[in-house]
């Protein structure tokens, strides 16, 4: 995974796979991200089919779930939810520093202090590149940005999409960025309706709130 990430533009976003254990009533659901889906969504240098096979061997596989109609690899590699919304290569710019080490130090300090309600879940350093990805949790201290708040509104189907989390912050060279939330949420919930209950409209305030929380964690201050 790290080697493939090193060969991919902004490959740090796809350097890990997310696995979740979720209690839903009397049932425990084990789910993981589909490597082939995310390899294309994050424009990786490989389709990760070998990783998919290894995850299936390690964790099992009952069924795929997510988008009912599915999305082709071609569509995923140029995905955006609708006109005017961001693509993979249009991230939120959170902060900029003198160099990679300064950026890394600032993010580590911000996450350690829980700035913006954001804390570290994991860290992966990409070999041969000045690039590090942090998986982060967001609490509800910044209105509308918290993981629990958002998931309670949009993750309502019988099979839960817990592996949507955590969000990623990417230190790439001297810059700190994150995938814009209108892309990052939509790619996890491509069938989510625009209007009505349990829709994007129900979390309309979330993209800017998430960006603000992550910017504070990156040391860039509030918007």
CA neighbours within 13 Å on the CB side: how many for 115? 18
Q: Are 13 and 166 in contact (CB under 8 A)?
A: no
At residue 204, φ and ψ (nearest 5 deg) are -55, -35
Dist CA 206 CA 220 (whole Å): 19
Residue 109 inside a domain? The answer is: yes
Residue 223 inside a domain? The answer is: no
Q: Domain range holding 29?
A: 2-217
What is the pTM (predicted TM-score) of this model? 0.94
Residue 21 inside a domain? The answer is: yes
Residue 38 inside a domain? The answer is: yes
Residue 201 inside a domain? The answer is: yes
Residue 222 inside a domain? The answer is: no
Q: What is the pLDDT along the chain (223 residues), one digit of tens a residue?
A: 999 999 999 999 999 999 999 999 999 999 999 999 999 999 999 999 999 999 999 999 999 998 888 889 999 999 999 988 999 999 999 999 999 999 999 999 999 999 999 999 999 999 999 999 999 999 988 789 999 999 999 999 999 999 999 999 999 999 999 999 999 999 999 999 999 888 999 999 999 999 999 999 999 865 5
How many domains is the chain built from? 1
């Amino acid at each position: 995974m790290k080697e493939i990430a090193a060969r991919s533009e902004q490959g740090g976003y796809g350097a890990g796979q997310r696995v979740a254990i979720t209690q839903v009533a009397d049932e425990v659901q084990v789910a993981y991200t589909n490597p082939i889906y995310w390899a294309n969504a994050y424009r990786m240098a490989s389709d990760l089919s070998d990783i998919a096979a290894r995850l299936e061997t390690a964790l099992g596989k009952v069924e795929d779930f997510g988008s009912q109609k599915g999305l082709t690899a071609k569509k995923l590699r140029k995905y955006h939810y609708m006109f005017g919304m961001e693509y993979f290569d249009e991230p939120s710019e959170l902060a900029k520093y003198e160099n990679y080490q300064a950026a890394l130090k600032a993010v580590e300090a911000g996450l350690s202090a829980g700035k913006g309600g954001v804390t570290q879940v994991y860290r992966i350093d990409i070999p041969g590149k000045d690039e590090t990805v942090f998986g982060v949790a967001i609490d509800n201290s910044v209105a509308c940005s918290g993981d629990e708040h958002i998931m309670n509104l949009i993750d309502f189907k019988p099979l839960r999409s817990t592996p949507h989390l955590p969000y990623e912050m990417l230190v790439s060279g001297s810059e700190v960025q994150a995938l814009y939330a209108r892309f990052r949420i939509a790619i996890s919930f491509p069938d989510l309706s625009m209007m009505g209950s349990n829709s994007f409209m129900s979390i309309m305030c979330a993209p800017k709130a998430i960006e603000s929380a992550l910017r504070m964690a990156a040391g860039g201050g509030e918007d």
